[in-house]
Chains A and B, each alone.
Chain A
Amino acid sequence: DIQMTQSPSSLSSSVGDRVTITCRASQSISSYLNWYQQKPGKAPKLLIYAASSLQSGVPSRFSGSGSGTDFTLTISSLQPEDFATYFCQQSYTIPRTFGQGTKVEL
């Protein structure tokens, strides 16, 4: 199975900050990497697919980059509604696997 490792596990930030979360795959997954946001008690929400494609309706302050084994999710200017947990997920092979999550806190 492909292991996905996110860093950091949590981070403290303020409104307006630029936030970067990294995700590393245990083997090359080309650009088959997706990012989700999850708020407490809610279902995950797709933000980015195929490493850098913004899902419809997602604000442009979210962006993704990377290929191979190393990927990043960037929030250019953190908004109050962005405090949440973020997960990466590879779609290169079965089983689909997720990173352990990064909690973005105030």
Chain B
Amino acid sequence: QVQLVESGGGVVQPGRSLRLSCSVSGFTFSNFAMHWVRQAPGKGLEWVAVISYDGIHNYYADSVKGRFTISRDNSKNTLYLQMNSLRAEDTAVFFCARDHDIAAAGIGGYFDFWGQGTLVTVSS
């Protein structure tokens, strides 16, 4: 069955870096675009970034542009999110999610499978 498992969360000081991973199984990873979505404590869902099936195209929310980098290793069935210059407002549970499409910005995409999330806390 389809599984997405995030890891790498934790407590980090403001200004520091953290890398999240999302290991997938149960489907052909290289056939799907992938997203990161976050949820601050008690708040709604915020889309963070997307990467195309081949890793060539990616897009970011304005709130993380220039600080976060999404990448993937299709040989390892793993999605990554490198987070630099972290701020207190980045504190959230980060979910990886599969797009049903291959394209990063394909019209009509939707998140059909999600991981369980990993908590990132930015605090001094």
B-binding residues in A (CB < 8 A)? 1, 32, 34, 36, 38, 42-46, 49-50, 55, 87, 89, 91-101
Contact = CB atoms under 8 A, between A and B. Distances in A.
A24 to B, nearest CB: 15
29 contacts: A32-B108, A34-B110, A36-B111, A38-B45, A42-B116, A43-B95, A43-B114, A44-B37, A44-B111, A45-B114, A46-B111, A46-B112, A50-B108, A87-B45, A89-B110, A89-B111, A91-B107, A91-B110, A93-B105, A94-B50, A94-B59, A95-B47, A95-B60, A95-B61, A96-B35, A98-B44, A98-B46, A98-B47, A101-B44
B47 A44 contact: no
Contacts of B107: 32, 91-93
Nearest to A6: B44
Interface majority SS (helix, strand, loop, mixed), chain A = loop
A88 B40 CA distance: 17
Nearest to A97: B47
A98 B95 CA distance: 14
Given A43-B114, A43-B115, A45-B114, A91 B44 contact: no
Contacts of A50: 108, 110
Contacts of B62: 1, 95
A94 B108 contact: no
A89 B50 CA distance: 15
A96 B44 contact: no
Contacts of A94: 50, 59, 104-105
A45 B116 CA distance: 11
A44 B45 contact: yes
Interface string B39-81: 0000011110010000000011110000000000000000000
